């Protein structure tokens, strides 16, 4: 028994998937760009620390703040029901979900009137070398299964670069920490180039990672091609073998088997 002779459940995405993907990633980037241009890109952190925030370790606490800022930015846009981005729904998700926020945009399609994306927000520090460069995205089995269940599953990675500085509060005399969003990129995970996606066998079924979130390339591919790419990354790991893959495939419904 080999990988090649399995009877796979082959997901087939909609004909307009690439168009929807480009529409969503462009819309998300436009929302972030406009927030930055409008000066709405600062997170003020009030503390009673006279020396301000611990700058040498700020990257360790920045993630949740940046994620919350992104969610707030989307919610604010969604409150305008005629917003120019056609954003019609924003939903924050529980901590253990694959993404941080779910967005739905209005878009006229052949069989639908909208497109939904799950967005994973990743924070990186502009002034800390290597900060957030190669983030974990999600587990191999979890994301592989998501694409089988929904061939049009749209998983967007929103990379937000920030810098942090302190300024003295005139009223309290203490130092306020300012976390400022300064750059952004939105990527469709399924369309990242093969060399930009890596597999880390640590933790459960292994983690899908991006080699360098600041420099990625895009390659158009189908959902089935992406599933095969993920499988190859898994099977080429020195700590994985075909029997382990087959167990996951049976457990998660990736293959058809005779009853």
Write the pLDDT tens digit of every residue in 189-205: 999 999 999 999 988 99
Using CA of residue 63, residue 64, residue 65, residue 68, what is the dihedral sign? positive
Q: What is the mean pLDDT of residues 28-50?
A: 92
Give the lowest-confidence range in 19-33, 158-172, 238-252.
158-172
End-to-end C-alpha distance for the chain, whole angstroms: 17
Strand order in the sheet with 207-210: 136-139, 207-210, 197-200
pLDDT higher than threshold 60 for residue 130: no
Confidence at 221, pLDDT banded by 50, 70, 90:
very high
Annotated domain spans of the chain:
17-252
Would you state the structure tokens that stand for residue 37, as one six-digit string? 């241009």
pLDDT at site 109: 83
32-36, 111-115, 234-238: segment of lowest average pLDDT? 111-115
pLDDT at 231 over 90: yes
Residue pair 180/74 in contact by the 8 Å Cβ criterion: no
The answer to whether 147 and 117 are in contact (CB under 8 A) is: no
pLDDT band with cut points at 50, 70 and 90 for residue 93:
confident
pLDDT at 160 over 90: yes
* pLDDT for the residue 131: 56
* Summary mean pLDDT of the chain: 90
Alpha-carbon gap, residue 133 to 108, rounded angstroms: 36
Q: What is the mean pLDDT of residues 152-173?
A: 88
Separation of alpha carbons 109 and 112, rounded Å: 5
Residue pair 100/64 in contact by the 8 Å Cβ criterion:
no
Nearest Cα residue to 223 out of 25, 22, 11: 11
Closest C-alpha to 118, from 92, 95, 142, 140: 92
pLDDT at 127: 65
- The pLDDT of residue 110 is 79
pLDDT in tens, 15-29: 999 999 999 999 999
Q: Which of 113-117, 139-143, 167-171, 223-227 has the lowest mean pLDDT?
A: 167-171
Instruction: Tell me which residue of 23, 113, 91, 100 sits closest to 65, measured CA to CA.
Output: 100
**DSSP assignment string, the chain:** --STTS-B------TTHHHHHHHHHHHHHHHHHHHHHTT--EEEEE-S-TT-S-GGGTHHHHHHHHHHHHHHHHHHHHTSTT-TT-EEEEEE--TTSSSSEEEEEE---SS-SEEEEEEEEEEEETTSTTTTSS-EEEEHHHHHHHHHH-TT--EEEEEEEEEEEEEE-TTTSSEEEEEEEEEEEEEEGGGB-GGGEEEE--STT-EEEES-TTS--B----HHHHHHHHHHHHHTSTT--HHHHHHHHHHHT-B----
Q: What's the CATH number for 17-252?
A: 3.40.600
């Amino acid at each position: 028994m080999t990988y090649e002779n399995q009877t796979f459940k082959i997901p087939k995405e909609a004909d307009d998937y690439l168009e929807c993907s480009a529409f969503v990633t462009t819309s998300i980037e436009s929302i972030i760009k406009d927030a930055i241009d409008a000066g709405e890109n600062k997170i003020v952190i009030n503390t009673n620390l006279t020396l301000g925030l611990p700058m040498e370790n700020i990257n360790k606490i920045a993630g949740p703040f940046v994620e919350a800022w992104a969610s707030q930015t989307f919610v604010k846009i969604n409150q305008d029901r005629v917003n120019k981005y056609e954003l019609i729904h924003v939903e924050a998700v529980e901590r253990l979900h694959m993404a941080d926020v779910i967005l739905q945009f209005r878009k006229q399609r052949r069989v639908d009137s909208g497109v939904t994306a799950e967005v994973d927000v990743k924070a990186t520090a502009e002034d800390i070398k290597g900060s957030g460069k190669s983030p974990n995205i999600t587990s191999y089995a979890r994301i592989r299964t998501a694409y089988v269940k929904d061939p049009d599953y749209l998983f967007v990675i929103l990379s937000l670069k920030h810098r942090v500085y302190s300024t003295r509060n005139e009223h309290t005399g203490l130092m306020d920490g300012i976390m400022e969003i300064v750059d952004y990129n939105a990527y469709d995970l399924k369309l990242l180039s093969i060399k930009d996606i890596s597999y880390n066998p640590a933790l459960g079924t292994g983690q899908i990672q991006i080699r360098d979130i600041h420099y990625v390339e895009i390659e158009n591919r189908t959902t089935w091609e992406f599933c095969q790419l993920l499988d190859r990354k898994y099977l080429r790991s020195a700590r994985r073998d075909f029997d382990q893959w087959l167990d996951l495939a049976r457990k998660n419904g990736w293959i058809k088997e005779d009853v």
